[in-house]
Structure 1
Amino acid sequence: MDFRLTDDQRALRQGIRELLEGRFGREALRAAVDRADGRVGSGRTADGKRAAEGLPAVDRGDGKARTTEGKRAGGGARVLDRDLWRELGAAGFFALRLPEAEGGVGQGLPEAVLAFEEAGRVLLPGPLIATHLAAGAVAGAATGETVVTSVDGGLVEWLDDADVVRGNAGGAEPLASVDPLTPLHRLPVGTGRRPEDGALRAPRTPDAPLVSLLTAAEQLGSAARTCGTAVQHARTREQFGQPIGAFQAVQHLCADMLVRVEVARAAVYAASVTADPVDIAAARLLADEAAVRGARDCLQVYGGMGFTWESDVHLHLKRAWIRACRAGGAARSEEELADDLTAGTA
């Protein structure tokens, strides 16, 4: 059996890579980070910006459209780039798996994984997965005209910038996010929609395996980018008269990063073909590890420079931490694998 990418799949991946790197390259990434950090922007709430654009207030998912009260957790203007969102819609990013008869691209889950892997490489912000899964179910989601987010356990990403929330997010409170490009809200304790112990573990919903798989794809893309970044830095940064890549300790770090990336890639691609929940759980664990440990190892290769705000390495680490909380995170994946291993042994 041949598991290599087809010519069409390689062309799709290359097309998405060129689109994202051209539209959301490093300059755009840093500009978005600066806006989110409050260094640039008016400080208006997202609902105020939507009103200025003639858009409705957020539908919080509880049947009421309400404006956001108070300032955001980060204090700055975290407003999604609507023009970029529409460009993604026009390129078919959100409608990739929607049947052609319904106005979609008519591709499958493997192609969606390739697209989200590229999104992870450039740290593309926004509720990408929720909007992608809403294509065909929510008007305007497929074309990027409507931004959709969803309740995931006790967390909601990009609540203030979303037009539609899938799930009941009523009473959600701003939460300071470690990632400047992933604004968060959390559901209040004691509502029955969030575990009393504060554990951010998602309920078993029909979309949970897809959320987990597409999250794994994003983690894979980020891990591949930090691996390449570390290798490039090791080739060009010199100490004691030679590139630091000549030192065995640095070589081992880069080699371990590459191994984790390629093992995770094989697992994620295989899970996209089988769509089996157990395969997805295994792929998710490997991809989360590749992204988090890869970013940490990249920091080690960069040394003190990697911890500075100007470096992009910390952004990959912070985004990897946030993604690792989705759809129950490692705990849910481990439970699914354990249940499969112990099935029929009682």
Structure 2
Amino acid sequence: MRFELTRDQRDFAASLDSLLAASDTAAVARAWADGDHEPGLKLWARLAEQGITMLATEATPVEVVIAFEALGKYAVPGPWVESAAFLPSLLGREIEGIATVAAPPHVPLALDADIADEVYLVADGAVRRATVGAIHHSVDRTRRLFEVTGEDAVESGPPRFAVDLGVLATAAQLLGLGERILADSVTYVKQRKQFGREIGSYQAIKHALADVRIALDFARPLVYGAAIDTSRLNASTAKVACSEAAYLASRTGLQVHGAIGYTAEFDLSIWLTKVRALVSAWGTPAAHRQIVLDSLVSTVSTGREA
């Protein structure tokens, strides 16, 4: 089957890319990490005007994937998965402002709960408004995680699809992060010279970057396949593939940048740390591999019984 984005979807992707490219998202991320949320909230409002917060209820998962790949590509901070994918799908409405949630076991802590307008806890099959507790810090300094305590229950739909959409949105972010790291790495190796020639001309560098390109190209159809058929198996498969591809991109990007890649002052660090955090967010690779394995075993067992 051949899958291509429609003209409207391509236009939507282009408009998001144009908006984010014109914004200094690295500066926004650094300010967010330092506790200055104003630039990030302004960007949030502009993205909300583009319709990102209503995609889960008014569009399809394909549009959700398009948006979250762009958010990942530009390392936009904030609880976007919670506000624009999981909670709208779970509550059946667009979120006004910023919302976050803890949904154990995959999401034990609530992201940016201290600035959220709505905070929820999903546990024991119920969705409850929640109060904010202790803070936990992430390797990604833009991610502040909070313990929450559930209070009164609210009406909601079944959580399964909402969880799958949250997992898929996180996978799309990882895909965008990997693409950005690869693009920046290719640009760098074309400029950096060693022994009188660009390091990108060395075969070892070419092969390493080609491996990243292949990994991302194999992950992308799994993401869009899961967007067309958002099942637990497909979402987990996409998350595993995107986690591996983005992590490979981050390791390779760090290697080809050399010592400068280790410095917190260099913008690459924003993308590297976000990859490391999102690899485990909304379910670890091990947890999602187990889901894939259980599904395959169940399918084989069912076939044998038939």
What is the distance in 1 between the residues matched to 2:38 and 2:142?
A: 10
**1:204-243 equivalent positions in 2, closer than 5 A:** 205-243=160-198
Say which SS state the counterpart of residue 301 (structure 2) adopts: coil
Structure 2: runs of 5+ lacking an equivalent: 122-127, 151-158
Secondary structure at 1:184 match in 2: strand
Q: Deviations over 1:169-213 (max 9, x none)?
A: 54631112211111112469xx9xxxxxxxxxxxx8542111110
CA RMSD of aligned residues (A): 2.3
Equivalent residue number for residue 103 of structure 2: 152
* 1:284 pairs with 2:239: yes
Note the C-alpha offset of 1:276.
2.2
- Quick check: 1:80–1:126 contact (8 Å CA) kept in 2? no
What is aligned with 2:156?
none
The 3 A distance-change label for structure 1 pair 35 and 326 is closer
Q: Deviations over 1:50-88 (max 9, x none)?
A: xxxxxxxxxxxxxxxxxxxxxxxxxx4556733222222
Gaps of 5+ in 1: 38-75, 100-106, 192-203
Q: Does 1:81 align with 2:81?
A: no
CA gap 1:283/1:138 in 2 versus in 1, 3 angstroms:
closer
How many residues align? The count is: 281
**Counterpart in the other structure of 2:51:** 92
1:330 is aligned to 2:306: no
Take 1:132 and 1:164, find their aligned partners in 2: how far apart are those partners?
13
Q: What residue number does 1:7 align with?
A: 7
Residue 325 (structure 1) shift: 2.2
Residue aligning to 1:319: 274
Aligned to 1:182: 143
Q: Residues 139 and 146 of structure 1 are in contact (CA less than 8 Å); yes or no, is this contact kept in structure 2?
A: no
Q: Quick one: structure 1 residues 124 and 179, their matched pair in 2 at CA, closer, same or farther if it must change by over 3 Å? A: same
Deviations 1:222-265 (A, max 9, x none): 00000111111111111111000111111111111111111111
Shift of 1:30: 2.4
Is 1:164 matched with 2:123?
Answer: no
- Give the aligned residue type for 2:17: R
How far 1:139 moved relative to its partner?
7.2
Q: CA deviation at 1:96?
A: 1.9
Name the % identity: 29
The answer to which structure has the higher helix fraction is 2
Q: TM-score, normalised by structure 1?
A: 0.75
Cα distance between partner residues in 2 of 1:274 and 1:252:
34
Secondary structure of the corresponding residue to residue 135 of structure 2: strand
